[in-house]
Structure 1
């Protein structure tokens, strides 16, 4: 809800900022479009009003941009989609997949063509092999 309000405010501020910038008189005379005294607002105070309005709208624009960034990242909580999928695969116990009831093949999701994270984890774990028995060293007979 807050994100929608900030987004609408950002759009309105952007349109107003573009309009205020386009109304202002060109100072440098670039492209030969220097304005004479027959402009829309010719008083010196109009320039100050437009300048102050531009600054206010620019500040509001940046505040809305920062607010949208913060509100957008609150719900994400520093997890990406890849992290969420990997955590879900790791959190599922190995026996949980076999305990699930058999699903209809027509409605079951397609299995991945390549190896999964579970395949990698099972191949990376060292196999539990018993250590070879080492013969006990021969003890010399006690001298009498």
Structure 2
């Protein structure tokens, strides 16, 4: 519930911040545009100060709410670390590096003689390439009726 309310407030603050940034007068003169002029929307220095202050305030509120949302959503998943979820306590350390015992063949299966090459258990895959599709027959040319 709290996360939903904070997220809604954060979206409203974000939209307001975008609006305040777009309403400000350009001071850099990027690509020869901006810099103001006789027809500028906001030319008074006081209006510029208000817009600058509101931009910083909205940015600060947006940043704080975003950090709070990050902390709150991080706590929802659980306070355990990844290492705590591994259940290391139940592992037997004596058998971790023990060699694996060879498997015993099933009764009735052919056992190769010592020194003979073992037949491959997995047959080689058969690759087939699809034949190219035959081109469609050309339609007879139609002559316009006269």
State the TM-score, normalized to the length of structure 1. 0.55
Q: Which residue of 2 aligns with 1:135?
A: none
Determine which structure has greater relative contact order: mean sequence separation of CA pairs < 8 Å that are 6+ residues apart, divided by chain length: 1
**Equivalent residue for 1:79, pick from 78, 81, 90:** 81
2:135 equivalent in structure 1? none
Structure 2 residue aligned with 1:40: 41
Partner of 2:65: 64
**In structure 1, C-alpha distance between the alignment counterparts of 2:14 and 2:70, rounded to whole Å:** 17
Q: How does 1:1-144 map to 2 (within 5 A)?
A: 1-34=1-34, 35-75=36-76, 76-80=78-82, 83-84=84-85, 86-87=86-87, 90=90, 123-124=95-96
Cα gap change, 1:121 to 1:4, in 2 (>3 Å): farther
In structure 1, the gaps of 5 or more residues are 91-117, 127-144
Name the structure 2 match of 1:100. none
CA-CA distance at 1:59 after TM superposition: 0.6
Once the two structures are TM-superposed, the CA of residue 83 in structure 1 deviates from its matched residue by 4.6
* CA-based RMSD: 2.7
